[in-house]
C-alpha cells in the first residue's frame, strides 16, 4: 500500500525546513563574520535603551543583526531554524516569505522596545537576535497541536508551554548564565517581550497570510 499523498507530504515536511527559515539561520553566522570586521565589533549598532528612546529608533532593528560571540550565534541560529520552521510552514508561498520575515522583525522590535522601556536610563549596549527568536518560539507554541493547527491562546497546552518557557527564561536571567552569553548579562526581559508578542501575533498573522480558510482544514478558527 502507498500512503495517501497529503499524509505523505505532511511527514516529509518534518524533515525539510522551509527555505526562509534555513536562510534566516544561516544569515546569523554570515552577519557575525562581517560584524567582527568592523572597527568597534559592531557595538555602534547595538541597542542602548536611553539612546533608542531618545530618537535612535533604528537600534531596535540593528540589534537583531549583532551577536556577542560564536556560541551566541549558534544558539540563536539553532533556535531560529527549529522554531522558525514551524512558523514558516504556516505561511506558504512567496507572500508567506515576506510575512515570516515581517513576523520575525516585528516581534524582535517589540522585544527591544520592551527591554528599552524597562531599562530606560541605561546606556549599556544590547546585542543579539534572541528577542526575535523568542518571538518565533512564542508563535510555534501555538502550533503544538501538530499538522499546522493553530491552537487558541486559552488552550491548556499553550498555557502550560508558555509558563514553562517563561519560568525557564526567568531562571536563566536570575542565574545570569546561558550558552553563548560569555559572561555578558542575559536580557531575559527582551526574551519575555518577544515571546509574548509572538504568542499573540501569530493568530492575526496566520489569518492574514496563511492559506484561505476554505483550503486549510488543518488550521483551527482559534481566536487571536
How far from the centroid of its chain's Cα atoms is residue 135's Cα?
Answer: 3
Which helix (H) or strand (E) is 189 found in, with range?
Answer: helix 188-209
- Given a cut of 50, whether residue 183 has pLDDT beyond it is no
pLDDT of 177 > 80? The answer is no
Question: Which residues does 56 contact at the CB level (< 8 Å), separation at least 6?
Answer: 48
Is the predicted pLDDT of residue 176 greater than 70, yes or no? no
Strand partners of residue 84: none
Q: Is the predicted pLDDT of residue 221 greater than 80, yes or no?
A: no
Label residue 23 exposed, middle or buried (CB < 10 Å: 0-12, 13-18, 19+). middle
Q: How confident is the model at residue 187 (pLDDT cuts 50, 70, 90)?
A: confident
Percent of the chain with pLDDT over 70: 81
Residue 150 has pLDDT above 50, yes or no: yes
Q: Tell me the pLDDT tens digit for each residue of 49-78.
A: 999 999 999 999 999 999 989 999 999 999
The set of cell numbers assigned to 217 is 482544514
| Confidence grade of residue 172 (pLDDT, cut at 50, 70, 90) | confident
**95 within 8 A of 148, measured Cβ to Cβ:** no
pLDDT of residue 175: 67
pLDDT at 146: 64
In the predicted structure, residue 213 carries a pLDDT above the cut 90: no
Backbone region of residue 117 per phi and psi (left: phi > 0; alpha: psi in -120 to 50; beta: other values): alpha
Q: Whole-angstrom Cα distance, residue 58 to residue 52?
A: 8
Give the distance between the most distant pair of CA atoms in the chain: 66
- To which H or E segment does residue 220 belong? none
**Mean pLDDT of all residues belonging to the chain:** 85
Q: Is the pLDDT of residue 27 over 90?
A: yes
**Residue 145 pLDDT grade (very low, low, confident, very high; cuts 50, 70, 90):** confident
The per-residue pLDDT for 222 is 47
Mean pLDDT along residues 201-210: 91
**Residue among 63, 164, 73, 156 at smallest CA distance from 115:** 63
CA distance 216 to 209: 12
pLDDT band (50, 70, 90) for residue 11: very low
Mean pLDDT, range 22-36, rounded to an integer: 97
The number of angstroms, rounded, from the C-alpha of 9 to the middle of its chain's C-alpha atoms is 26
Amino acid at each position: 500500500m502507498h500512503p495517501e499523498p497529503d499524509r505523505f507530504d505532511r511527514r516529509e515536511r518534518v524533515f525539510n525546513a522551509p527555505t526562509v527559515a534555513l536562510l534566516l539561520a544561516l544569515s546569523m553566522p554570515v552577519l557575525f563574520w562581517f560584524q567582527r570586521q568592523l572597527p568597534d565589533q559592531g557595538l555602534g549598532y547595538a541597542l542602548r535603551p536611553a539612546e533608542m528612546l531618545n530618537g535612535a529608533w533604528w537600534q531596535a532593528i540593528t540589534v537583531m543583526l549583532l551577536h556577542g560571540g560564536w556560541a551566541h550565534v549558534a544558539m540563536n541560529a539553532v533556535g531560529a531554524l527549529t522554531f522558525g520552521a514551524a512558523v514558516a510552514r504556516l505561511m506558504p508561498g512567496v507572500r508567506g516569505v515576506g510575512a515570516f520575515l515581517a513576523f520575525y522583525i516585528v516581534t524582535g522590535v517589540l522585544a527591544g522596545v520592551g527591554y528599552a522601556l524597562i531599562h530606560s536610563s541605561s546606556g549599556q549596549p544590547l546585542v543579539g537576535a534572541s528577542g526575535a527568536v523568542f518571538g518565533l518560539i512564542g508563535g510555534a507554541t501555538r502550533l503544538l497541536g501538530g499538522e499546522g493547527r493553530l491552537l487558541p491562546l486559552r488552550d491548556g497546552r499553550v498555557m502550560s508551554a508558555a509558563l514553562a518557557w517563561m519560568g525557564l527564561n526567568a531562571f536563566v536571567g536570575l542565574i545570569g548564565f546561558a550558552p553563548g552569553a560569555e559572561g555578558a548579562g542575559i536580557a531575559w526581559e527582551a526574551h519575555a517581550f518577544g515571546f509574548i508578542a509572538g504568542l499573540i501575533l501569530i493568530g492575526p498573522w496566520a489569518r492574514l497570510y496563511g492559506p484561505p480558510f476554505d483550503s486549510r482544514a488543518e488550521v483551527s478558527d482559534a481566536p487571536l
